[in-house]
Structure 1
Amino acid sequence: MHWKDLEVWKLSHEMVLEVYKLTRSFPEYEKFRLTDQFCRAACSVPANIVEGNARHSRKEYIQFLTTARASLEETRYHGLLARDLEYMQSLDYEQFEAKTERISRMLNAFLRSLKAKDKHA
């Protein structure tokens, strides 16, 4: 299956677009601090899904999806920090957190299915 057809990729790409929109309103002095880290971590999620999909082994795919999951958790932390610093409205944070939780569940299910295939191969 092509990575553009994966629902987890589609949702994580949407998340990246939202992070970029949200960070536009962050203070200028955060440009090379929180804004940069938040955007980089968010971009890493769908990018690792794409790279894993392009690999020729299930083991490598699992490795890249595991990295995507770790980047997602980093992204979630940056969202929490942005909210606590009052750069993000509570409602925006709640919507962001709901989306990242959904992505997390999808990544975990995808990883479980790939690992199960390894056990049966």
Structure 2
Amino acid sequence: MHRFKDLSIWKRSRLFCSQIYEITSKFPESEKFGLTNQLRRASVSIPSNIAEGTSRNSNKDFIRFLRIALGSAYEIETQLLIAHDLKFISKENLQKLTIELEEIIKMTSKFKSTLKT
């Protein structure tokens, strides 16, 4: 059994979540229930699903939660591109966040592949 607080993917995705909250705080007020909400929910979903997965009794269940976390990561990538298209975030911020997100995706995928079902 894994302790989620010890997992680097959980720690890193939690920090990424804070970055998403910070950047979306600058979005237009009209996006409060649109992209702001979607990006925040998806970013919270990554560390939350990693944590929930660690509580499961089997690696098969844990892998399912890691897949959900990965789905949220790809959702965020799309939403960040849309936010950039709408000029809510700069190209520099898009690149910075995308690089970090890609690293989280790689780490999560690699960790998932080490779990035996």
Q: TM-score, normalised by structure 1?
A: 0.93
Name the counterpart of 2:80: 79
Partner Cα distance (2:36, 2:29) in 1: 9
- 1:41 corresponds to which residue? 42
- Following superposition, the deviation at residue 111 of structure 1 comes to 1.1
* Aligned-partner Cα distance in 1 for 2:10–2:20: 15
More helix by share: 1
User: In structure 2, how many angstroms separate the alpha carbons of the residues matched to 1:46 and 1:75?
Assistant: 13
In 1, Cα distance between equivalents of 2:40 and 2:30: 15
CA distance in 2 between counterparts of 1:21 and 1:35 reads 10
**Which residue is equivalent to 1:31?**
32
Gaps of 5+ in 2: none
Identical counterparts, % of pairs: 38
What value does the CA root-mean-square deviation take over the aligned residues? 0.8
Cα offset, 1:57, TM superposition: 1.1
| Cα displacement string for residues 36-95 of structure 1 (whole angstroms, at most 9, x for unaligned residues) | 011001110110000001111111101000100001100111111111111001111111
Task: Give runs of ≥4 in structure 1 deviating > 2 Å.
Answer: none
Matched positions, count: 116
1:69 is aligned to 2:70: yes
2:99 partner letter: A
Say if 2:15 is the partner of 1:14.
yes
- When normalised by structure 2's length, the TM-score is 0.96
The separation in 1 between residues aligned to 2:47 and 2:76, in whole angstroms, is 12
